[in-house]
Amino acid sequence: MSEGGFGKTSIGLKANVAAALSYLLGFVSGIIIYLLEKENKFVRFHAMQSIVTFGLLWLVSILVWVLPFVGTMIAPIIYMLEVALWVILIVSAYRGKYLKLPIAADIAEKMA
C-alpha cells in the first residue's frame, strides 16, 4: 500500500484525521471508526490495525498484572512502550502514511 491519507471519507473527515482518530482511544476508537467508515481503505486499515494492536496489548497488560511479582515490574515497561507506539501510530496516520506493524498489518490489510 502506498501513502494515501489525504482523500475523502464517508464520515465527512479528511482521511488522515479519521485514521489518526482511530488510534485515539485504542481499540475502542478503532472499532468506532471501522464501523462508521465504509469506503476509504486507508482509514479502514488504520482502524483495524488499532483494533488488533491495542486489543492485543490490552489483553497482554491484563495478563501481566495478574503475575504476582514479575507483573508489577514488567507492566510499567509495557505501558511506556505502548504509549510510545500509540504516539508513533497517531503521528504516522496523521501524516498520511501506512506504518505496518508485524502481524497486525497483515490482518488489517485483509480486513480493510
pLDDT averaged per 10 residues in sequence order, the chain, 112 residues: 71 94 96 95 95 94 84 87 96 94 87 78
Domain boundaries, the chain: 15-106
Angle of helix 41-66 versus helix 27-36 axis, rounded to 10: 150
Q: What is the pTM of this model?
A: 0.86
Given the C-alpha cell 471519507, which residue does it identify? 9
pLDDT on residue 1:
47
Question: What's the rounded Cα separation, in Å, for the pair 93 and 44?
Answer: 11
pLDDT on residue 81:
93
